[in-house]
Amino acid sequence: MRASPGDRIVVQSDHVGGPVRDGEIVEVRHGDGTPPYVVRWSDSGHETLFYPGPDAEIHHAGTVSHISYGDPDVSR
């Protein structure tokens, strides 16, 4: 998984019908874009250091597609 500042991260709920959480990646800690990320969450405005799991997707700024964490064929 690779991201850049300005990308969005979306985390699916672990409960059926549960809320989806999303936020903006404001900082990437590694030069190659790998986690962890500092995320500003849209529901609270808080910024946290986040290590995405398999339920997280990156929506790259300026693109329509998204990438799931478990996608092994992703290179960016």
> What tens digit of pLDDT does each residue of 21-64 get?
999 999 999 999 999 999 999 999 999 999 999 999 999 988 65
Q: Is 76 inside a domain boundary?
A: no
CB of 40 closer than 8 Å to CB of 53: no
How much is the pTM?
Answer: 0.76
pLDDT at 70 over 60: no
Residue at 23 is within a domain = yes
Supply 27's token pair.
């900082």
Contact assessment for residue 54 and residue 69, using Cβ atoms and an 8 Å cutoff: yes
Number of domains in the chain: 1
Domain range for 56 is 8-68
- Please report whether residue 58 resides in a domain: yes
